[in-house]
Amino acid sequence: MIENEILEKQNPQRKPSWLKVKLPTGKEYTNVRHIVSEHKLHTICESGNCPNMGECWGAGTATFMILGNICTRSCGFCAVKTGKPLPADLEEPSRVANSVKLMNVKHCVITSVDRDDLKDGGSIIWAETVTKVREVSPKTTMETLIPDFQGKWENLQRIIDVAPEIVSHNLETVRRLTKEVRIQAKYERSLEVQKRLKEGGMKTKSGIMLGLGETENEVIETMQDLANVGCDILTIGQYLQPSPKHLPVMEFVPPTQFSKYETIGLGMGFRFVESGPLVRSSYHAEKHLF
């Protein structure tokens, strides 16, 4: 097995053996990279330095990131650039839809940066993207990983109205660490997003990261909070520091602990729990349809 240096370059802190990943290679990986480049698409795979990019792109899948690649928020964990975004690209929904068809994607994952600069929070482009994918590639199912839209519920309703097969919104961390990890976000607001999505008839999903200084009891409490608002699918992964400017890793959580959380989560009633060091929000997303 060829192991790369990607994770070590992101963070000089020595990582345990279970965080090693394969070097991205292969025909499908090259093909996806070509399509992403040719159609000027943004992917969270690249912008977020995802360790699973080689595996997912090698399988012919990618997580598209709409509304540009510059975020209006400055979360302490995230590798996506922060700043003043460009105006929303009205042609982006069509480009994404055409690329989904070209890639012959069966299950498409779409996410976005936070666009707090826009009155609609980007929700109109969101809805149009889902609609366009359905028009161009009607057999493709979709998961949308959405922001909180600053709690402006009319914007969230636009997502509910177009009804993606799965709607995801990440809690990211435990209540105590939210102000440090997600500076402009609110723990209770994210739970309210989950609650309203479920009340709107959506299949819901959320994700949290470990290794930021949380305790086991806090993780279990967070899992229970999500279960209490009806969240269907939970992902739990290891936080990896994207650069020295980001929050440091406080702990590399061993695989056995991730397995423990998976067992606990299934006992709480989650339909699916993906829990492991390299798990990310869209990891094995196609398996979460039910």
Cα separation of 263 and 139, whole Å?
33
CATH code: domain of residue 243: 3.20.20.70
Asked if the structure places residue 179 within a domain, the reply is yes
CB neighbours (10 Å) of residue 25?
12
Residues 6+ apart with CB under 8 A from 263: none
pLDDT digits 0-9 by tens, 4-49? 333 333 444 577 776 765 655 556 656 666 666 666 655 555 544 5
Asked if the structure places residue 243 within a domain, the reply is yes
> Looking at residues 112-125, what average pLDDT do you find?
96
Asked if the structure places residue 82 within a domain, the reply is yes
Cα separation of 146 and 127, whole Å?
11
Residue 141 tokens read as 């199912």
Q: pLDDT band at 118, cuts 50/70/90?
A: very high
Cα separation of 94 and 77, whole Å?
31
Asked if the structure places residue 62 within a domain, the reply is yes
From 52-56, 102-106, 232-236, the region with the lowest mean pLDDT = 52-56
Structural domain containing residue 105 = 6-288
How many folded domains does the chain comprise?
Answer: 1
Residue 175 tokens read as 């209540």
Asked if the structure places residue 1 within a domain, the reply is no
H helix runs in 105-254, sequence order: 123-136, 153-162, 178-181, 187-199, 216-228
Q: pTM of the predicted model, to two decimals?
A: 0.84
pLDDT digits 0-9 by tens, 240-279? 998 899 999 999 999 999 999 999 999 999 999 999 998 9
Asked if the structure places residue 217 within a domain, the reply is yes
